[in-house]
Each structure stands twice: as C-alpha cells, then as structure tokens.
A and B are shown apart, each in its own frame.
Chain A
Amino acid sequence: MFKVIKKLTSFVAMVAVLFAFTTEAMAKKSKTLKNTQKKGFVRCGVSQGLPGFSNADASGNWTGVDVDVCRAVAAAVLGDANKVKFTPLSAKERFTALTSGEIDILSRNTTWTLSRDADIGLTFVGVNFYDGQGFMVRKNSGITSVNQFKNGISACTNIGTTTELNMRDFFNSRGISYEPVAFEKADEVVAAYDAGRCDTYTTDKSGLAAQRTKMKNPDEHMVLPETISKEPLGPVVRQGDAVWEDIVRWSLNTMIEAEEYGITSSNADSMKTSDNPAIKRLVGAEGELGAAFGLDNDWSLRIIKQVGNYGESYKRNIADPGILPDRGPNQLWTKGGILYVPPAR
C-alpha cells in the first residue's frame, strides 16, 4: 500500500509540475517583441519562391519586396537586417503558421480582405504592393482579351487563395463554364500550365509576371490586359499584440515615406542635418519616435540605411530583373500612384 501511495504522489507531483510550467507560459501574453529580441532574429513567413517578392537564390539568400519588409523590421528591432529566419509557406499553410505562433510576420503576397482581417485572428498592417488578378495565355492561342474566353476553358491556379474565388465570380458573371485545376504549390501550377494542361493560368498579375520568368519559353506566354479584382498585398501579424503590429506597420511606412522625402540608403546619414523637420524625424535626428514602440531613436535610420526606401527595394527586386518595370499604381501619390502613408510624427 505504501508503495502505491509513494508512486501516486510522485506521479501527481509530475503532472502538477507539467501544468505549472504550461500555465505560466500561457499567463504571459504574446510579447512578440520581447521574444524576438531574446531569440535574436525575426521569424518571417514568405512564399515558396516568387521572383521579385520572396525568392531564395542557390545559396539560400532571400530577396524580394516582401522579404524587405521583414528585413526592415529586423533592422528596426535588432539592428541588423540580416537577422531574419525565413519560413517558406504554401498559400494553404500561411495563416495557420502565423496564428499558431510559428512565425511572427507573414509577408507573403497576401491579399487584405475583410474576412481574413476580421475572422481568423489576423491583422493586416498595410499594403506594400497594389495588385489585381489577371490571366496568362499562350501567345499563339490568338487570345488577346478575356472576352474571347469560351465554355470549356481550363484554368490552372493555386488553392487557398482569393484567386480561386475571384475566378469563379468572373466566369460566373459571364456565364462561362470552366474547369478549375487547383494545385497546392505555385511551382506545380506553373509546371502544369507550361505542359499544356490548362488554357490559362490565373493569379495576381505581379505573380503572373514573376512566374512567367520561370517558364520554359517565357516569350511564348502573355498576360492579358484585363484586371478582374483588387488585390492589395501586405504584411500580416497575429491579432492581439498591438505594439508588434505598430512596429511592422511603421517599418513599412518608413520605407515608403523615406522615398517620398528622397532619403535613400546612401544619403540617409547626411540627411540628419536636413532643414526639413519631417526628414530629420525619419532619420532619428529629431523627436522621440522610437520610444512609443520601446525602440531607440535610430530604428528608422537603420531601416533606410540597411534595406533602403520603397523605391530602392522595388527597383532592386521587381524593376531591374524585368518583372514589372512599370510601377503602375505602386508609385508614390506625388507621382501619380496610390502609395500614400500617414506621416511619421
């Protein structure tokens, strides 16, 4: 009997300890910033390879405008834009990875919609690329407009995206019957379309332009002029950590505002002596903007110096590789685009 009791007590003690540990962990609400600084890197979810947005080269270096958002956050909170751990995610996995705490920023050409923002425990912090859904076809098909689509057309796309829903709205409203062929990974979609499984490939136009570069003969394909939806793409954070949300939002805003004021990675230091107080605030020479997030005052200067402003990032990642040389709506509001961010003050 004594033996049994002894066994029992040690067992109960073990269970109690287990519970004590986990409940303590739960009591501390997600202090993402604290955790990030403790770990020493920013955990960032990106795509599995979309040139211009998030793409890894042969040696595993990630580049792209989505990648730059995470780098900006790393520069702001850790002082080094390279302290980012990238996790490639499929469209299907991305939100679960974020809500389950596997990553802290999702910067993966993700469309901001009401239901995603409100329903599933996510918060969108801004827009780093204004996009719209389009169609790619083979040039020799003779199709030059979506108006030439006929009943029975097969369309390759990704699952788990707004693309799938827009596609239905589009074909339904025109009364065209179609065959949706939906893959889990973007590379599989491209391979299937390239092999002739589908007549058209549909996704965000930036994605089409980027994926076209991966095809066997990029010149045999073209993106149709029509845009069938609004796709504002932007970084996402977990709901419930307002400070982290602000840090990511203002890291992105800093890049855009820096372009507006002509601050670049090369001239940022010299801008400290500028006469314009707005510029001085952005490079940390005036005001105490970082304090609100619990950061030092050079956070924004580091972003500009290490990552560059939005224009530099766009040029480096999207324009120069020839993906979308024309910035279109992703131009500053002062130059005819719709990039307009609240002032940093």
Chain B
Amino acid sequence: MNNKIKKILPQIITVLFVLGIFGFFTFNAQINMDNRGIDFGFGFLTQESSFDVQFSLIEYSGSHSYARAYLVGLLNTLLVSFISIIFCTILGVIFGVARLSSNYLIRNSAAWYVEFFRNIPLLLQIFFWYYAALRALPVPEKAGPWFGVTYMTIKGYYIPSFIWTNLDIFLYSILAVIVSIIIISTYAKKIQENEGKQIPVFFIALGLIFVIPALTFFIGGVSLDFGIPVLKQLSKTSYVFEGGIGLPPELIALVLALSLYTSTFVAECVRAGIQGIGKGQKEAAASVGLTPNQILKLVVMPQALRIIIPPTTNQYLNLTKNSSLAAAIAYPDLVLVFAGTALMQTGKAIEIVSITMLTYLSISLAIAAIMNWYNKKIEIKEK
C-alpha cells in the first residue's frame, strides 16, 4: 500500500500544482481585467473590422468581420510558409549534396553558402532583402520587362494573370492524370515483382502529364488568356501596373530571406543523412550490379531519408514560426493583421494573443503530423 501511495501521490500533487498555477493566473487576470474595466469575450470576431489589408488571397475589405481578417492573415502566413518550405527544400537538397561533391570548387562554395546564411540573424536578412536589395529595384515606369511580360519593380513583381475558360475541365484532367499514374505505378510494381520486367513508369507519367491536359485545350473547350500588366500613370511622376498579378515586394523579400536561411539547415540535414549511410552499403549495391543511379535511388536515399526527415521537420516548423517576423516589413501575415492591427483596434489582447498562439500551435502540429506520417511510411518495416 505504501508503495502505491508513494508512486501515485507525487503525480497527483504535480497535477494539482499545475492546475493551481493555471487557475491562479486565470483568476489573477480576471481580477485585474475587472479592476480596469476590460471585458473578456470573443464577440468582437463578428464585428466589422473597418481596416484594409494590402494583400489577401480571399476577398476582403474593411466591411468584413474580424474573423475574416484573421483568415486573411492566416492564409498569408500559410502562403509564405508553403512557398518558402518548397524553395528551402530544393535549395537545401542541392547544397547538401553539393557539400559532398568531389569537386573542390562546388564543395567549398556550398560550404561558404551554408556558413554565411546560417550565421546571420534572420531579421537582418529580412531587412537586407527588403530595404537594400529590393529597394535597389527601379520604379514602375523605368522597369524593363523580364521574360517579355513580367516586370520587377519597387512596388512589386508584376506577372500576367491567367484568365481561364472551362478551368474545371482542365482541373479534372489533372486529377485523371494523377489517378492513372498511381494505377500504372502500382501495376508496374506488381509486374516487376512477378515477372521481373521493368516498365518505364517515369516516362509514361511524364507523357501523361503533358498530353492529357494539352488535349483539353483542343477538344475540351479549355482556353487560357493572359492579362498582361499595363503601366498606368497616377500622377506626373508616379506610375503603377494594372491588370496582371502583383506580388508585393514584402512577400518576395520574406520568401527570399526565409528560404535562404532555412535552406542552410536543411542542407546540413541532407548532408548528415547521406553521410550516415555506410560505405559498405554502396559497395554491396555496386557488387550486385546496380548502376550508380539505382544505388542512389534504391539503396542510399531510402535509408538517408530516415535520417533526414525528423530534423528537417524541425526546420519546417522553425520556418513557419519565423514567418511571423513578417510584421517588420509590412507583409500582412497573421501577426501583423490579427495580433497587430486587430488587437490594436479592439484592445482584446488576451483573446487575440491566445487565438494567435493556438493557431501557430495548430499549424506546427499539422506540419509535424504530416512529416511523422511520411517518416512512418519510409522507416524500416520489420517483417
């Protein structure tokens, strides 16, 4: 009996203590807010926000609610995180592999790249890209076209907009392509296991991706027009582009800084993963007659990924949380729009900060869940 109590009692006390602290803070906050005449509640979310946001993925104006403003900020945070994660992964893999190159120049340039961008504080890099690099860009009327129809200016990067007819048919065709590739690759695997024959799945897939969506243009009635950005005069000396899509310089600077910074950490994860595979593995693979490509694809990478994925997940989480530095350069992310403007206009500090914290927590947990699922999928399956 004594043993049982000894085991359980400390745990009960710990739980009570944690609850007590939490309760005390809630109680304290309530008393203080009461004293100062501050109400607690989430009713403000349905009120009209009456402020505008520079850049939004969904329709939004000041006549929408604070809840909608929250959504605008959330989507902007997700957008910048998503783009940066893709870029940092691509760059990270390239530089991670390059650091192991047998070529002296490539190996050392990659090492310099990693050491340079990893060791400068992220906020400084954001300021650099925004104030120094992007500010060196021309004003709209002096911007020459890049690739014919896009314009890089101090007010943003203007690209043609896409004007679709029968977009849905095009999207269905892509869906059909994805489904058929999955079916073909499963079938190919079966054939290989049963008969040892290899089917060039990669080339078939590549063909499908191009041919089927292209067909919809000819027989599906799909057509695509481009809205070309056109220069418009605002006053004697100031111009702006109209038509087309304008990517704000804030977004570009943020994506640059976040992906360059995080890519260095991803590169190190990739290097660690590849170096973690024993030399004997490659030699054994070579001795059974696999080509260097097959060795990388079938022997090294599947094992290296197991080492790469968990620390890379951390980097993705860091990147997402770091995106909140956006507020420094006026990119309307969750922190700027919701924990900034909305907080100021409503004064609901506790409510808004807790919503924002919960949101970041959920985003991080979601990313972690996806990566853990992928990690499970590739880890050693004991038979």
By a beta-carbon cutoff of 8 Å, the part of chain A in contact with chain B is 1, 4, 8, 11, 15, 19, 22, 26, 29-30, 91-92, 95-96, 99, 115-116, 119-121, 137-138, 140-143, 148-150, 152-154, 159-161, 164-165, 167-169, 172, 178-185, 188, 191-192, 195-197, 199, 238-240
Q: Which residue of B lies closest to A178 (CB)?
A: B52
Interface residues of B in 204-227 (CB under 8 A from A): none
With A4-B9, A184-B328, A196-B154 already in contact, the answer to whether A168 and B50 are too (CB < 8 A) is: yes
A153 and B140 CA atoms in complex are apart in Å by 13
Interfacial chain A residues near B345, Cβ < 8 Å? 160, 164-165
A224 and B242 CA atoms in complex are apart in Å by 26
A141 and B31 CA atoms in complex are apart in Å by 55
Interfacial chain A residues near B38, Cβ < 8 Å? 99, 119-121
Task: For residue B77, give the distance in angstroms from its CB to the closest CB of chain A.
Answer: 16
Task: For residue A27, give the distance in angstroms from its CB to the closest CB of chain B.
Answer: 10
A168 and B31 CA atoms in complex are apart in Å by 37
Report yes or no: B347 in contact with A188, Cβ–Cβ below 8 A.
no
A-B contact pairs, 19 of them (CB 8 A): A4-B5, A92-B340, A120-B347, A140-B236, A141-B235, A148-B235, A152-B232, A154-B240, A160-B343, A160-B344, A165-B62, A172-B62, A180-B51, A184-B330, A191-B131, A195-B131, A197-B155, A199-B235, A240-B36
A257 and B28 CA atoms in complex are apart in Å by 42
Interface of chain A, helix or strand or loop or mixed?
mixed
Q: Which residue of B lies closest to A195 (CB)?
A: B135
Pick from B6, B237, B248 the residue with the most CB of A within 10 Å: B237
Chain B interface size, as a band, is: 35 or more
Report yes or no: B35 in contact with A29, Cβ–Cβ below 8 A.
yes
Task: For residue B254, give the distance in angstroms from its CB to the closest CB of chain A.
Answer: 14
Report yes or no: B62 in contact with A30, Cβ–Cβ below 8 A.
no
B96 interface hit (Cβ, 8 Å): no
Report yes or no: B336 in contact with A154, Cβ–Cβ below 8 A.
no
Interfacial chain A residues near B235, Cβ < 8 Å? 137, 141-143, 148, 150, 199
With A142-B235, A152-B234 already in contact, the answer to whether A15 and B330 are too (CB < 8 A) is: no
Report yes or no: A91 in contact with B35, Cβ–Cβ below 8 A.
no
B2 interface hit (Cβ, 8 Å): yes
B341 interface hit (Cβ, 8 Å): yes
Report yes or no: B13 in contact with A8, Cβ–Cβ below 8 A.
yes
Interfacial chain B residues near A239, Cβ < 8 Å? 36-37
Nearest 7 Cβ contacts at the A-B interface:
A120-B347, A160-B344, A142-B236, A121-B36, A141-B235, A152-B240, A121-B38
Interfacial chain A residues near B344, Cβ < 8 Å? 91-92, 95, 159-161
Interfacial chain B residues near A185, Cβ < 8 Å? 328
With A150-B234, A188-B328 already in contact, the answer to whether A99 and B36 are too (CB < 8 A) is: yes
Task: For residue A231, give the distance in angstroms from its CB to the closest CB of chain B.
Answer: 15
B349 interface hit (Cβ, 8 Å): yes
Interfacial chain A residues near B341, Cβ < 8 Å? 159-160, 164, 182
Given A92-B340, A141-B237, A197-B135, output 15 extra A-B contacts at Cβ < 8 Å: A141-B235, A150-B234, A152-B232, A153-B240, A154-B240, A159-B340, A164-B52, A165-B62, A167-B52, A182-B54, A182-B336, A188-B328, A199-B238, A238-B36, A240-B37
B327 interface hit (Cβ, 8 Å): yes
Task: For residue A104, give the distance in angstroms from its CB to the closest CB of chain B.
Answer: 13
A11 and B332 CA atoms in complex are apart in Å by 48
Task: For residue B156, give the distance in angstroms from its CB to the closest CB of chain A.
Answer: 9
Report yes or no: B332 in contact with A182, Cβ–Cβ below 8 A.
yes
With A26-B28, A182-B332, A238-B36 already in contact, the answer to whether A138 and B5 are too (CB < 8 A) is: no
With A19-B24, A184-B336, A184-B340 already in contact, the answer to whether A168 and B51 are too (CB < 8 A) is: yes
The 8 A CB mask of B1-41 against A (1 = contact, 0 = none) is 01001100100010001001000100010011101111000
Report yes or no: B35 in contact with A240, Cβ–Cβ below 8 A.
yes
Interfacial chain B residues near A121, Cβ < 8 Å? 33, 36-38, 347
With A8-B13, A240-B36 already in contact, the answer to whether A180 and B52 are too (CB < 8 A) is: yes
Report yes or no: A1 in contact with B5, Cβ–Cβ below 8 A.
yes
Report yes or no: B54 in contact with A181, Cβ–Cβ below 8 A.
yes
Interfacial chain B residues near A1, Cβ < 8 Å? 2, 5
Contact for B54 among A8, A115, A179, A191, CB less than 8 A: A179
A165 and B341 CA atoms in complex are apart in Å by 10
A153 and B28 CA atoms in complex are apart in Å by 47
Report yes or no: B155 in contact with A154, Cβ–Cβ below 8 A.
yes
Pick from B9, B235, B329, B347 the residue with the most CB of A within 10 Å: B235
A115 and B39 CA atoms in complex are apart in Å by 13
Report yes or no: A138 in contact with B238, Cβ–Cβ below 8 A.
yes
Interfacial chain A residues near B62, Cβ < 8 Å? 165, 168, 172
A172 and B36 CA atoms in complex are apart in Å by 35
With A30-B35, A140-B237, A240-B37 already in contact, the answer to whether A165 and B329 are too (CB < 8 A) is: no
With A8-B13, A168-B50, A180-B54 already in contact, the answer to whether A195 and B154 are too (CB < 8 A) is: yes
B139 interface hit (Cβ, 8 Å): yes
A191 and B54 CA atoms in complex are apart in Å by 18
